Amino acid sequence: MKYLYRILTIVLLTQTANLSAQNKLPQLLIRLDDIGMNHSVNMAMQQVANTKMPFSASVQFACPWYQEAVAILKKNPQVSVGVHLTLTSEWRYYRWGPVLGKEAVPSLVDEVGYFRQSTGAFAKGGYKMEEVERELSAQIERAQASGLKITYIDPHMGVALSTPELRALTEKLARKYKLAISPLSTVSYFGETYLEMWGEPVATKKKEFLAYVSKKLNADRPNLVVIHVAQIGPEMDALFDMNASMMNTPAGKPLTSLHRQTELNMLLSPEFKVMQGKNFQAVNYQQMLKGKDISVLKAVDGR
């Protein structure tokens, strides 16, 4: 009788495990970029945090509003925090510069002491790798000194992964500070798929995002979606993007505010909310990396 009981128990456990595997939900890894950039972005992040959904927030610790972001994040442990490694300052009049100051890293700044305004200008600006390393180290150390648990690093506008030399440096910093690297569309470190909503037209953002989340997630890999949120208002409305023509009208009216409010709205929408636990399991980087050895970074190109 005991033997039969054991057999039945094993069969039941096996069936339960198989059913659990069949019903496994895809992991959705939302990453909000440019946190700390300004108050409008921080308030949008606060709205997403209020849903209590796990997500990841990439903070620009070189930007003026990072301290407000830190205060919000300390109250929201469901948010995994990363350092959005920053070497550019892309707005026409709203600018920021190095954590170390322009005198310490002169090859990274323009004639008025701010980070250069485009990836092209950065590439042509004669940056010195030793100055890049000192500045990015300072950004990470400022983040760690904030009292937040820092889980990963990732590159603002892709700069810190844009050349083999810069990628090698970023990987070196990740190992030094025991952090993961969140990827670009062309390179992955932990097998994430990648989608960025930034370039999707305002009119189709929500439709395309909900279609992706409901029908196109990979069940075998974490699904990273990079999103830029902000609240519409005078602060955001004034920001003219010096890099992307699609973020401004032909007449020169900035559209970034509208793009980012639209991305915020889709995260807060009832349609998205009802999909949680049904179409996907929301995870953050800290959860996704649990049990993984992040000390051994191996990039996979051409995903």
CA dihedral (102, 106, 110, 112) in degrees, to 10, reads 40
Helix or strand run (H / E) with residue 236? helix 234-237
List, in sequence order, every residue forming a beta bridge with 301; answer none if it has no partner: 187
Q: What is the pLDDT of residue 295?
A: 78
Q: Check whether 230 has a pLDDT greater than 50.
A: yes
The single residue listed with the structure tokens 């992706």 is: 212
Closest CA to 88 of 121, 50, 55: 121
**Environment class of 121 (CB within 10 Å of its CB; exposed 0-12, middle 13-18, buried 19+):** middle
Amino acid symbol at 50: N
Question: Using alpha carbons only, what angle is made at residue 131 by residues 128 and 135, rounded to the nearest 5 degrees?
Answer: 140
Q: Are 236 and 43 in contact (CB under 8 A)?
A: no
> pTM score, two decimals?
0.91
Residue 98: what are its φ and ψ, rounded to 5°?
Answer: -65, 145
Q: Check whether 187 has a pLDDT greater than 90.
A: no
The single residue listed with the structure tokens 């992955």 is: 188
Q: Check whether 29 has a pLDDT greater than 50.
A: yes
Angstrom distance (rounded) from CA 275 to CA 187: 28
Q: What is the pLDDT of residue 302?
A: 57
| 129 or 297: which leads in pLDDT | 129
Q: Which two tokens stand for residue 203?
A: 């009119």
Q: Poorest-confidence range of 25-34, 181-190, 258-267?
A: 181-190
Helix or strand run (H / E) with residue 193? strand 193-196
Q: Check whether 272 has a pLDDT greater than 60.
A: yes
Amino acid symbol at 198: W
What the chain holds in terms of domains, given with CATH numbers, is: 26-301 (3.20.20.370)
Angstrom distance (rounded) from CA 65 to CA 276: 31
pLDDT band of 23, cuts 50, 70, 90: low
Q: Check whether 35 has a pLDDT greater than 60.
A: yes
Q: Indicate the average pLDDT of the chain.
A: 91
Q: What is the pLDDT of residue 17?
A: 38
Closest CA to 69 of 94, 53, 98, 46: 46
pLDDT band of 148, cuts 50, 70, 90: very high
pLDDT band of 300, cuts 50, 70, 90: confident
Amino acid symbol at 221: R
| 296 or 123: which leads in pLDDT | 123
Question: Using alpha carbons only, what angle is made at residue 241 by residues 236 and 244, rounded to the nearest 5 degrees?
Answer: 135
